[in-house]
Amino acid sequence: MSGSCRFILFALLLMFFCSCASQTPTWRSSAQQTLIQLEREGARGSFPDDYASIVSTFDNAEKLLAGEQGIKAAENQYQLAYQKGLLLQLELEKAQARLLEEKRQQEQKRQAELAEQKRRRQEEEKIQARLAIKEGKQPASNDKRQAGQEERSNLPVKYTVRRGETLPQIAARAEIYSNAELWPLIYRANRDQIRDPYQLWPGQVLKIPRGFSKEDAADARRQAAKLGL
């Protein structure tokens, strides 16, 4: 083969490869990658109409590329699909930013409501404490109040008299009152079976009053001092 023939053959091959290379649209890859990214970011569900428009534009470009319209017409559609995709990505970013802001505001509102509830509780506790001091009572915390209730609930409400016991001895027992001067409380609650506070019988089952007031206790001490039992 002569040198001129080789040159002509080489030129034809070069033109063929250049023609094949030119058949690949420049914007097709960018538009396709944008569609994939939008799908991952949930654009199909968030902006269904916009997403469908981009898909339609891309599909139209694919048809043009495969038909007789040629690469130039397809290229314009690929570029249009890519540009639409960029705009939709901006809308997605704005929507995500709005969602984050709404969540932040909701959390701030929740924290503010909790703080207000705490403030109101503290204010109510202060009012109750001032009222208690005004009435001459010692305010008790919830824990102390609950502990006192549990302790009283575990104390006996009945007691069986033993041989030789007296009302002061019974009142002085730790599980009763731990105070001998409070024996009149027991006497008043059992007048149906105690005729003489100075005399008890073994086996008698006495009712033990609980939940009496400070005034009741003070009155019982006065009566005990008066009777001298």
Confidence of residue 25 (pLDDT cuts 50, 70, 90): confident
Alpha helices in the chain, H assignment, sequence order = 3-21, 28-40, 43-46, 48-66, 71-134, 142-154, 167-172, 183-189, 214-227
What does the pLDDT look like over 185-216, one tens digit per residue?
A: 999 999 998 888 888 999 999 999 998 899 99
Give CA 191 to chain center in angstroms. Answer: 57
> Does 153 have pLDDT greater than 50?
yes
Of residues 189 and 146, the one with the higher pLDDT is: 189
Listed residue (40, 73, 37) closest to 57, CA to CA? 73
Catalogue all structural domains in the chain, each as residue range(s) with its CATH number.
22-99 (no CATH), 155-227 (3.10.350.10)
Confidence of residue 179 (pLDDT cuts 50, 70, 90): very high
Bridge pairing between strands 205-207 and 158-160: antiparallel
Global pTM value: 0.42
* Rounded Cα–Cα distance for residues 44 and 51 (Å): 6
> Which of left, alpha, beta for 173 (phi over 0: left; psi -120 to 50: alpha)?
beta
* Rounded Cα–Cα distance for residues 33 and 19 (Å): 25
Overall average pLDDT of the 146-171 stretch: 78
* Rounded Cα–Cα distance for residues 186 and 210 (Å): 10
The confidence score (pLDDT) of residue 23 equals 59
**Dihedral angle, C-alpha 145, 149, 154, 155, nearest 10 °:** 100
DSSP symbols for 51-81: HHHHHHHHHHHHHHHHSSS-HHHHHHHHHHH
The confidence score (pLDDT) of residue 50 equals 92
> Does 66 have pLDDT greater than 70?
yes
The confidence score (pLDDT) of residue 173 equals 93
* Rounded Cα–Cα distance for residues 162 and 184 (Å): 18
Other CB atoms within 10 A of residue 169 CB: 15
